[in-house]
Amino acid sequence: MGLLALQVVAVLASWGILAGHRFHRVEVLVLLSADAFPTALFLLMALSIAVRVARRRNVAINRYARIYLVAATVQVVLNIVLLVSGGRPRHESLVWGLCVLGGAYLLVVAVFSGWYWLYDHIIPGGAFDFPEAEVLPNFRPNLIDYVFISFNTNSTFGPTAELIKSRHVKVLMMLQTALSLAILLVFVARLTGITR
């Protein structure tokens, strides 16, 4: 269900980026392909999981999730690269520009929430130390905890209260921070361009 929520946010954010910008035809085709591929993978993954569950077979959901998240990360990177290098907001409008950048921001938060959830579940001992675990012995993080980590990484360029125990997650956080900085730079550049 968490991956379904992630996919819905990713599709809506990507549509917002496409709707709010004027891209060249090649860029539109690249963005549409980048959006279609993770969506197709998600549908295949969901169908495969449903069939395996119906047949009472073991479901390797972590393997499916990893493949899907790789495709979704490529989608995010392509969206932001084209956002930085290519299109302009429709009618040079600040509102359209804010909507598009907000969509890109949500896209990054959604995809990296999925990565943090996955790595915290597949790494022995978990990828994060949550402060709540010290107070509540039966604490188990859920999707909102990973969205919180991802949101904080996007907005403050790093986690706030959670300790990171995995080098893989540290690399992911560096990538997320770089993407977030690119969105912020586009936002500042557009604000200064509009006010002149």
56 sits in the region (left: phi over 0; alpha: psi -120 to 50; else beta) called left
Averages of pLDDT over each 10 residues, the chain, 196 residues: 71 69 70 78 78 68 81 84 66 66 84 92 90 86 90 81 90 92 79 58
Strand partners, 164: 128
> Which tokens is 90 given?
């429709």
pLDDT at 169: 93
Indicate the pTM of the whole model.
Answer: 0.79
Burial class (CB in 10 A: 0-12, 13-18, 19+), 162: buried
Q: Return the sign of the alpha-carbon dihedral for residues 77, 172, 37, 143.
A: negative
**Domain ranges for the chain:** 2-195
pLDDT at 21: 61
Helix intervals (H) in 86-166: 94-122, 132-135, 143-156
